[in-house]
Structure formats: structure tokens, C-alpha cells
Amino acid sequence: MKTKILIINGPNLNLLGSREPSVYGNTTFEEHLTKLKNTFSEIELEYFQSNIEGEIIDKLHAAKNHKGVILNAGAYTHTSIAIGDAVAAISTPVIEVHISNVMNRENDRHISKISRHCEGIITGFGLYSYNLALKYFISVKG
């Protein structure tokens, strides 16, 4: 059976490709996901996107059988103690990822309610941030 990794994208990330392309690029997440599935064909990649905080929490609770979770909680990163609590509540390791370099942006984005509960943070490598997180789960946690 293939190792299962779950990618969760939060609010507004369904608009990647058209949303603020100077910050987030021109590629849709679906396009990038196809490339990820080809590059990392040895794993089973599940993808979930929601603009709703509670749905992201429910999905984290359901991630028991996954080797790892790659979480881009979008703006909820900076506000949601509840998503941070959900990460803390599960034993599956979670990597926080961001497309943009949040430390290079407005002060509000320097705060994360999630990071302390995560295995690590990857920020600022564009969509390649997801590749880096996958490489970690495969090479180091493999």
C-alpha cells in the first residue's frame, strides 16, 4: 500500500492562478497537483481545500491514517487558535507551508497560531514549498 500524504489548503487558495499573481504566481493548484502526483508517484496524495475553518479542523481530525499533513491554512494561519489546537490534537505530523514568504510581508502575517504545533515551517518558495514538504516526508520520515 502506498504512503498517504494529505495536502490541506485553506481560504482563497482555490483562486490560485488568478489571485494576486504577483504574490502567488499564475499556476492553479490543480495544475501544480498534477505535477506533484507525477513527481511523487510513489505516494498517494490526497488534496482538500476549504474556505471554512471548521471543515479544515474536521479534515485534520480525520488524518489519522496519513503519514503526514501539509497545511497551508491561508489567512487562518494568523488567526485560528482552533486550527492550531486541531494540529496539536492529532498525532500525525503536520508541516505548515506558505507560497509567499510571510516573514517578508505585513506584520500581521508574521504571527502564526499553528507553527508551534507543527513539525516545521516552509515559507516563500512559491508552489515549490509543497514539493519541499513532500520531500521531507518521503526522505526523512519515509
Binding positions for ligand DQA, 68-87, rule CB under 6 A: 72, 74-75, 77
From 24, 76, 130, 136, active-site residue: 24
Segment 88 to 127, residues that bind ligand DQA, using CB under 6 A: 98-100, 102, 109
Joined together, the cell numbers standing for residue 61 give: 481530525
Strands (E) located in the chain: 3-9, 43-49, 68-72, 94-98, 120-123
Binding mask 41-70 for ligand DQA (x = CB under 6 A): ------------------------------
Q: Which residues contact 111 (CB under 8 A, 6 or more apart)?
A: 78
98 is annotated as an active-site residue: yes
Instruction: Determine how many CB atoms are found less than 10 A away from the CB of residue 118.
Output: 19
Q: Which is nearer to ligand DQA, 9 or 92 (CB)?
A: 9
Cα–Cα distance measured from residue 118 to residue 6, given in angstroms and rounded to the nearest whole number = 14
Q: How far apart are CA 91 and CA 32, in angstroms?
A: 28
Return the number of the residue (4 or 109) whose C-beta is nearest ligand DQA. Answer: 109
Q: Quote the least distance from Cβ 63 to ligand DQA, whole Å.
A: 19
Question: What mask of x and - would describe binding to ligand DQA in positions 5 to 44, judged by CB under 6 A?
Answer: -------x--------------------------------
State how far the Cα of 31 lies from the Cα of 34, in Å rounded to an integer.
5
User: Binding residues for ligand DQA, per CB under 6 A?
Assistant: 12, 72, 74-75, 77, 98-100, 102, 109
